[in-house]
């Protein structure tokens, strides 16, 4: 299990990979508004947990496990964001800021229940497949059933 701060670094790395095709320490520091030494510390922590491959001054590559965890983290954020924006009708920017804060403290069990509620209220799917944010098949099932 990694810390919530490490989750944020991992999520940022995944997003940068999708946006730019590569992950650089400088880009991570800029996006997260932190120092390069902080990024390097996080990188080595994530590497020690088997979530990425990295050699000093080399490329940063997410492992399959790292990429899957990053997707899960993003999905959890999306669920909280949808609840705040589309169910509670918060303004977009406020919903984004609040979702970031809430996501760092919420448990997987609560996310699972919130996902079922959000999807039911928004009519995306009924999630009768025993949705679990830790199961890839459930995430794929949801994506196929969206209207």
Question: Model confidence over 23-54: pLDDT tens digits?
Answer: 999 999 999 999 999 999 999 999 999 999 99
Residue 72 has pLDDT above 90, yes or no: no
Predicted pLDDT of residue 126 = 53
**What confidence score (pLDDT) does residue 25 get?**
92
Residue 67 lies in a domain: no
Tokens read off for 36:
């390069």
81/25 same-domain check: no
Instruction: Indicate the average pLDDT of the chain.
Output: 84
Cβ atoms within 10 Å of 118's Cβ, excluding its own = 20
Dist. CA 64–CA 91, nearest whole Å: 35
Contact between 43 and 35 under an 8 Å Cβ cutoff? The reply is: no
pLDDT beyond 60 at 60: yes
Tell whether the model's pLDDT for residue 67 goes beyond 80: yes
Tell me the C-alpha to C-alpha distance, in Å, between residue 100 and each of 71, 105, 140: 15, 9, 23
Neighbours of 70 (CB within 10 A): 23
Q: How far is CA 44 from the centre of its chain?
A: 19
The Cα 110–Cα 124 span in angstroms is 19
pLDDT band at 147 (very low <50, low <70, confident <90, very high): very low
Least confident of 37-41, 62-66, 138-142: 138-142
- Are residue 108 and residue 131 in the same domain, yes or no? yes
pLDDT category at 77 given cuts 50, 70, 90 is: confident
What pLDDT score was predicted for residue 130? 56
Q: Do 58 and 76 lie in a common domain?
A: no
Bridge partners, 62 (sequence order): 52
Task: Return the pLDDT at 121.
Answer: 78
Residue 143 has what pLDDT? 55
**What is the extent of the structural domain holding 100?**
72-145
Q: Answer yes or no: do 52 and 76 share one domain.
A: no
Question: 142: how many CB neighbours lie within 10 A of its CB?
Answer: 18
Domain of residue 45, CATH code: 1.10.10.10
Q: Judge if 85 and 132 occupy the same domain.
A: yes
């Amino acid at each position: 299990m990694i810390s919530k701060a490490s989750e944020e670094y991992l999520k940022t790395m995944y997003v940068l990979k999708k946006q730019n095709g590569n992950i650089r320490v400088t880009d991570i520091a800029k996006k997260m508004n932190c120092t390069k030494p902080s990024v390097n510390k996080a990188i080595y922590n994530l590497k020690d947990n088997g979530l990425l491959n990295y050699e000093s001054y080399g490329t940063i590559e997410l492992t399959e496990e790292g990429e899957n965890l990053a997707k899960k983290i993003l999905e959890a954020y999306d669920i909280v964001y949808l609840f705040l924006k589309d169910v509670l009708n918060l303004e977009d920017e406020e919903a984004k800021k609040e979702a970031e804060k809430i996501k760092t403290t919420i448990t997987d069990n609560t996310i699972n229940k919130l996902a079922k509620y959000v999807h039911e209220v928004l009519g995306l799917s009924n999630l009768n497949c025993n949705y679990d944010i830790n199961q890839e098949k459930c995430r794929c099932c949801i994506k196929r059933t969206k209207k």
